[in-house]
Amino acid sequence: MTAPLRVKDPILVNVPLADRSYDIVIGSGQLSSLGRRIGALRPGAKAAIVTDKTVAQHYLVAVEAALAAAAIPTTSVTVPPGEASKAFPILETVCEALIAARIERNDLIIALGGGVVGDLAGFAAAVVRRGLDYVQVPTTLLAQVDSSVGGKTAIDSRHGKNLIGAFHQPILVVADTAVLDTLPAREFRAGYAEVAKYGLIGDADFFAWLEANWQQVFAGGAAREHAIAVSCRMKAAIVARDERETGERALLNLGHTFGHALEAAAGFSDRLLHGEAISLGLVLAFAFSARLKLLPFDQAARVERHLAAVGLPTDVSSIAGGAPNADRIMELIAQDKKVKQGKLTFVLVRAISDCFITSDVDATDVRAFLIEKLAEP
């Protein structure tokens, strides 16, 4: 598998959901096309842009100009950056601002930002006036390959991540790859964990391509667009087959059971970014699978080696401020959305690109494994 040498036109990836199908538009400079695309989809609609203060400084004026060029009236709502904005007080602020701006059912919301803004704005769109259309304009790598696609919207609870939300599909996703050039290096690396995840779930050739070409993905250009498009195509196909995560879509949670627990233990803070938590979760999922003799230890080591090579954390003890203990991790895992009738649900691995979902996991084994990992030097 190789990346195309150059990309002239945007790459279009369709999410086929019958009358709710929508396109993901991937390419450099695509923010300028936003007004034209929205005008074609919803002529006569007003738009409310939900963003955070950091993203607004870079891109709010450009998005407003693109919409003005298409004669689309706009208002904007700006929230503080960071995971703490995925909470009831901020959701209330956004919803009240949308109502005060007289955003009606035939209007729409634009989520301009990373995963936090996308989840928050999408959830607001799901509940204001019993449902508004919305457009995702993801500005981080993680959001472009994962959270902006598939219609999962949510805020966090003090009990865990994304526990309060709704499935609500966007009508369009515009992933302008040029905006990633302003992303801090740590944020880009964190997003890369989700890119690697797609290869690990179901495309061994893509994972091997990433091992050989990750530096070009980080550098930008055609390799980056290729990696984003491959990731989006895989997620779109899975979402089309299992929109509400009753089966196969749960495979996209590879690494997330461990990862979300670690992220919650770190207080949803800069101590551990979401993608960094997923990197640790991927390493733990492969190591736990190897411990259960489901796959060779050298495959688990291969995954850890690649994530470490790109600069992602692979050792739980590296969490800033100290790692949580095994009991705390187990307490948070027990609150995971995927728990059913008290049974833990994990995505485990037989090989790179061969994963499966199981609830047949003994909590005692998980706790013993975590104690071992936390004791490693």
pTM for this predicted structure: 0.93
Tokens representing residue 372 in the block: 């071992």
Q: What is the mean pLDDT of residues 290-297?
A: 96
pLDDT of residue 2: 43
pLDDT at 1 over 60: no
Check if 194 is active-site: yes
Check if 161 is active-site: no
**How does the average pLDDT of the chain come out, rounded?**
94
Domains of the chain (ranges, CATH numbers): 1-250 (3.40.50.1970), 254-377 (1.20.1090.10)
Q: What is the pLDDT of residues 3-58, one digit of tens each?
A: 444 446 899 999 999 999 999 999 999 999 999 999 999 999 999 999 999 999 99
| β 133-138/108-113 pair status | parallel
pLDDT of residue 268: 87
Q: Which residues contact 139 (CB under 8 A, 6 or more apart)?
A: 55, 58, 59, 112, 113, 114, 176, 179, 180, 183
Check if 248 is active-site: no
Check if 274 is active-site: yes
Q: What is the pLDDT of residues 238-270, one digit of tens each?
A: 999 999 988 899 999 999 999 999 999 999 899
Check if 130 is active-site: yes
Q: What is the pLDDT of residues 71-130, one digit of tens each?
A: 999 999 999 999 999 999 999 999 999 999 999 999 999 999 999 999 999 999 999 999
DSSP 144: I
Check if 253 is active-site: yes
Q: Which of 194, 263, 276, 304 is catalytic?
A: 194
| Separation of alpha carbons 186 and 183, rounded Å | 8
Residue labelled with tokens 């609609």: 45
pLDDT of residue 344: 84
| Separation of alpha carbons 153 and 121, rounded Å | 8
The CA-atom distances, in angstroms, between 119 and each of 53, 59, 139, 162, 202 are 16, 19, 13, 9, 25
| Separation of alpha carbons 353 and 135, rounded Å | 31
pLDDT of residue 339: 65
| Structural element, H or E, at residue 25 | strand 22-27
